[in-house]
Structure 1
Amino acid sequence: MEASQLSVDAHVDKHGGVYCHLNGGTTFEQSIFIKALQEIVDPIEGPRYLITREHSPVREKKRIDYHAVPEVIGKNRDNAMYFEQQWANRVGQTRLLFTRSIAGRRLLLQARLKSLSAQFADPAEQVSKWL
């Protein structure tokens, strides 16, 4: 299916739960989307690339959070760089980090410990809903 025929719907419920799904696409494409989304928000395991997100909570120093670049995107450097550009446009200041080097491995260990997702008790939950 062409990308122009796809769209993403997301909403937050009254309890702060975020729901997101892909409109259009095949069941296979929808499952790739959900897997990629889970890789971004779940605790970091061993991605090829990491991406940073900087934010400053009220009255606190700037915090850097880390997210995995989904495997399907991170297989190719150009795709990972495009993901970084899109992230910067939509989320804010960012940096793409390659984890397959000595310095990158150190950053990966740091990211595993310091990422916001690592502080959550439960990883993201995937729910399939047939309409």
Structure 2
Amino acid sequence: MPQLYVRSSVDLPEALPRLRRLSLYRTLAYMLAELGAAVLLFTNETIFGLLRSLRPGMTWPQLALLLKVAAATGLVVFGRRLWRALRLYLTYRDIGRDLQPIARALLAALGYAGLVRSGAGLEAVVELKHDGSATCYLRGGSTYETGLFLRTLSEVLDPLDNPRYVLERQSRLWQLVSQHDYHAVPEVLGRTRKEAEAYAHFWQRYVGPGRLIYTRTLDGREELLRVRGRTLAAALAPRTEARSRWQ
């Protein structure tokens, strides 16, 4: 286990963005909630449309034809979106389910690196909404610590760009299907291998299995290029939204 230390000074900008809360809408749960609402609305409109189309003396074959047309329309409108949702669900573990442990691992790594206070006093708080979205904020932190925490968390959640280190998030669906997703190690934690490995250690403690990838070698660069567009964040882009407000 890495030993804690406090860095006396850090070469970071003195004025970080005054972020107070990070809101994450691009989760599988949010996408499925949006899709479910759209399907319900379409079904409701279709039923009322069929009722308005009924005429005295309409035969069962005519009614069956109307139902087939409605079903075909629904398949055209939602078939591709349903297939995409199923494919993403089987391929990736929803980031919303791991947001709390990811935030804890990140806060522990920032404390280890001496970038925020370590120990008691700081708490990463995650709130999961009924619509599948999530918000995260830092309780007990200064303006600087809050801004740094949310900025680095956004780096973890955003699509991959060109990070020095990448963490592979490993999981299994129903103990049968292997799932893999990839997240950037924040820039301030990827400057040295020691701090990147410490972050990976906290990740494995709080989140679960993970593999640290160094992208500044030929093999690492090839792997980064291979996985950069194959992440849940890339599939659900645009980027996370950081909102500047107190709760």
Q: Which position in structure 2 is the counterpart of 1:121? A: 237
How big is each residue's C-alpha offset from its partner over 1:10-66, in whole Å with a ceiling of 9 and x where there is no partner? 110101111111112221111110111001110000110000111233486312111
Match of 2:189 among 73, 87, 101: 73
Hey, what's the Cα distance between the residues in 2 that align with 1:78 and 1:101?
A: 17
Hey, what's the Cα distance between the residues in 2 that align with 1:60 and 1:123?
A: 30
Q: Which position in structure 2 is the counterpart of 1:86? A: 202
In structure 2, relative to structure 1, the CA distance for the partners of 1:59 and 1:81 (3 Å cut) is closer
In the alignment, structure 1 segments of 5+ residues that lack a partner are: none
Give percent identity, aligned residues only: 35
Match of 1:7 among 123, 128, 146: 123
Mapped pair 1:108 → 2:243: no
Mapped pair 1:57 → 2:173: yes
Matches for 1:14-29 after TM superposition, within 5 Å:
14-29=130-145
| Contact 2:159–2:237, Cα closer than 8 Å, also in 1 | no
**CA apart distance, 1:128:** 1.4
In the alignment, structure 2 segments of 5+ residues that lack a partner are: 1-115
Q: Which has the larger radius of gyration?
A: 2
Match of 1:30 among 127, 146, 154: 146
Q: Given the two structures, how large is their TM-score scaled by the length of structure 2?
A: 0.50
SS of alignment partner, residue 126 of structure 1: strand
Which one has the bigger helix percentage?
A: 2
Hey, what's the Cα distance between the residues in 1 that align with 2:166 and 2:225?
A: 11
Hey, what's the Cα distance between the residues in 1 that align with 2:122 and 2:154?
A: 19
Code of the residue aligned with 1:22 in structure 2: it is: L
Code of the residue aligned with 2:196 in structure 1: it is: A
Code of the residue aligned with 1:7 in structure 2: it is: E
Query: Pairwise CA RMSD of aligned residues?
Result: 1.6
| Contact 2:215–2:224, Cα closer than 8 Å, also in 1 | yes
Which range is displaced more, 71-80 or 2-11? Answer: 2-11
